[in-house]
Chain A
Amino acid sequence: MDWNVIISYLPRYKDALLLTLRIGWQGVLFALITGILCALVIYLKIPVLRQIIGIYIEVFRNTPLLVQLFFIYFALPKIGLQLSPEACGVLGLSLLGGAYMAETIRSGLENIAVIQSESAESLGMSKSQTFRYVIFPQALSSSVPGIMANVIFLLKETSVFSTISLMDLMFTAKDLIGMYAKTIECLTMLVVFYLIMILPVSILGNILERRLRFAEFGS
């Protein structure tokens, strides 16, 4: 292991990490918003929209992100929609993540016992108050483990961004290996930088989960 090599590569890895994080957090945020909206539509059984979202979820959960990215990056310009590589990354991550988040939150919503909405309604709460104050907060907190798993999954999936010429971690490692053939150093740094990005999310997830278990779910 050549430490001088590692030190000299650090700035490039750092830039790649920042790029990956920038795309990553935007993707996660939009994925969460998309997921919540889609889960709502399914939970409220809104006709037509619900079927469309069903198809969206199946398509995006059952195709590789790589293929989705190619579509966004190479096919969309053919119909006149040209996005920057970074925007493509965010969009791809949001759509893929949205499908996963929707499933996680939907099952969270459906797992709340009927008696919860019945007792809220028997207190005179309207359907929307019941949803807002009783069902949704419980569903969201019971979905936290699933949501955090999705976040980690999405951050790992960013490794295919290199294929649309985004200079993410994976791209940087491949590029440096191609140029200087310091394979071991480059790959080790790649692993370490992924850990730097993802481990904190993992730890945060564990803490949240423990917190919620405390406040949550009696009987």
Chain B
Amino acid sequence: MKQSLLEIKHLNKAYGENIILKSFNLKVEKGDVVVVIGPSGCGKSTLLRCINALEDIQGGEILIGGEPISRNAKNISTMRQKVGMVFQSYDLFPHKTILDNVLLAPIKVQKRKRNEVEKEALELLGKVGLADRKNDYPRQLSGGQKQRVAIVRALIMHPDILLLDEITAALDPEMVREVLEVVISLAKSGSTMMIVTHEMAFAKAIATRVLFLENGEIVEESKEPKAFFESPQTERAKKFLKSFEY
């Protein structure tokens, strides 16, 4: 049988008494663009954080390319390199220039040669339109620009899958587009992604699969995103999508 890129088996996640994910299952194949939507607090961020082993889990397994990823395992660094993550809050390293933000992990973690990574970094920064800002510090950039750098910083590690958690939620509306366009071009080039977003038009445009979550459970799943957004099958998804209309 073919090995899934990401496989989540019976994942249990709770914060103390508060159960967030209960026996959660999911398979993601190479090239999938999985959009995860659902009401606030339903566990979307928690799910992504578990996949990147930023959270302790209470049960189940998360496999990347068939290998388990776990917070306390010895191979955690290797496993995390397979999973890129961009968060909602701009999380660039404020004491490093844009270029050094991008170079830090490939040089220190992957032990790549500086001039080789630098070439790639500049290429990637060029693709998101920021090569000329390489010597600036994060504070000199707009929110949208910072998020584009954060994407580059994740991409340069050549992850198998990229996790994006509401990466435009903290941005001014006019900056949302420039970031989402980068994500769309990644999808076109075949990147595997899991995207949490509240931008429904974007979700519809980019998804190859949609997961609608409520209380940590998949309420509706669709491999036909266009159809899902036009006429969801469940009442709860219908109600949720309605809340985005005016």
B-binding residues in A (CB < 8 A): 115-116, 118-126, 129, 133-134, 137-138, 141, 214-219
Please, could you name 12 A-B residue pairs with CB atoms under 8 Å apart, sorted by A? A115-B91, A122-B52, A122-B154, A123-B80, A123-B105, A124-B80, A126-B77, A133-B108, A138-B93, A215-B94, A217-B94, A217-B139
Q: Is B208 an interface residue (CB 8 A)?
A: no
Output the nearest chain A residue to B71 by Cβ-Cβ distance: A121
Q: Given that A119-B91, A123-B105, A123-B153 are known contacts, is A218 also in contact with B85, CB under 8 Å in the complex? A: no
A124, B77: Cβ atoms under 8 Å?
yes
A137 neighbours in B (Cβ, 8 Å): 95
Given A124-B105, A137-B95: A118 touches B137 (CB 8 Å cut-off): no
Q: Would B95 and A125 count as touching, CB distance under 8 A?
A: no
Query: B95 and A122: CB pair below 8 A?
Result: no
Top 5 A-B pairs, shortest CB-CB distance: A218-B139, A123-B105, A218-B138, A124-B81, A119-B91
Q: Which label, helix, strand, loop or mixed, suits the secondary structure of the B interface?
A: mixed
Residues of A with C-beta under 8 A to B28 = none
Complex CA–CA separation, A216 to B139 (angstroms):
7
From A121, A215, A219, contact of B80 by CB (8 A): A121
Minimum CB–CB distance for B185 against chain A, Å: 22
Chain A residues positioned under 8 Å from B153 (CB to CB) = 123
Q: How far is the CB of B53 from chain A (nearest CB, A)?
A: 9
Decide yes or no whether B3 CB sits under 8 A from chain A: no
Q: In the complex, are the beta carbons of B80 and A122 less than 8 A apart?
A: yes
Chain B 53-78 interface residues, beta-carbon cutoff 8 Å to A: 54, 77-78
In the complex, which residues 136-184 of chain B have their Cβ closer than 8 Å to any Cβ of chain A?
137-141, 143, 146, 150, 153-154, 157
Q: Find out whether the CB atom of A219 lies under 8 angstroms from the CB atom of B89.
A: yes
Q: Evaluate contact between A116 and B93: CB separation under 8 angstroms.
A: yes
Tell me which of A115, A125, A219 contacts B87 (CB under 8 A): A115
A115-B77 contact given A123-B105, A123-B157, A133-B108, CB 8 Å threshold: no
* A-facing residues in B76-115 (Cβ within 8 Å): 77-78, 80-81, 83-85, 87, 89-95, 104-105, 108-110
What's the minimum C-beta distance from B66 to chain A, rounded to whole angstroms?
19
Q: Are B90 and A218 in contact (CB under 8 A)?
A: yes
Contact yes or no, A124 B78, CB < 8 A? yes
Q: Are A129 and B109 in contact (CB under 8 A)?
A: yes
CA distance A219 to B140 in the complex (A): 9
Point out the residues of chain A lying under 8 angstroms from B139, CB to CB. 216-219
| Interface pair A129/B108, CB less than 8 Å apart | yes
Write the nearest CB–CB distance from A21 to chain B, whole angstroms: 31
Provide the residues of chain B in CB contact with A119, threshold 8 Å. Answer: 85, 87, 91, 93, 150
In contact, B91 and A116 (Cβ under 8 angstroms): yes
CB-CB under 8 A from A123, the residues of chain B are 80-81, 104-105, 109, 153-154, 157
B95 x A118 contact (CB < 8 A): no
A116 neighbours in B (Cβ, 8 Å): 91, 93
Write out the residue numbers on chain A whose beta carbons fall within 8 Å of the beta carbon of B157.
Answer: 123-124
Bound Cα distance from A218 to B52, whole angstroms: 25
Residue of B nearest to A215 (CB): B137
Given contacts A116-B93, A121-B54, whether A218 and B137 have CB atoms under 8 Å apart is yes
Contact A125 B137 (CB under 8 A): no
Is A219 a contact of B143 with CB atoms below 8 Å?
A: yes
Q: Which residues of B contact A121 (CB under 8 A)?
A: 54, 80
Given A133-B104, A216-B94, A216-B95 in contact, is the A122-B143 Cβ separation under 8 Å? no
**B95:A141 contact, CB within 8 angstroms:** yes
Known: A123-B80, A215-B94, A219-B139. 12 other contacts (CB 8 A): A119-B93, A120-B93, A120-B105, A124-B105, A124-B110, A124-B157, A125-B109, A129-B108, A133-B104, A216-B94, A218-B137, A218-B140
Determine the distance from Cα of A153 to Cα of B91 in the docked complex, in whole angstroms. Answer: 35
Does the CB pair A219–B52 fall under 8 Å? no
Complex contact B105–A125 (CB within 8 A): yes
Given A124-B81, A218-B146, residue A134 in contact with residue B109 (CB < 8 A)? no
Q: Within residues 38 to 59 of chain B, which ones have a CB less than 8 A from any CB in chain A?
A: 52, 54
Are B94 and A138 closer than 8 Å at their CB atoms?
yes
**Cβ of A219: which chain B residues have Cβ within 8 Å of it?**
89-90, 138-139, 143, 146
Q: How far is the CA of A214 from the CA of B94 in the complex (A)?
A: 10
Quick one: which of B90, B93, B138, B146 has the most chain A CB within 10 A? Answer: B93
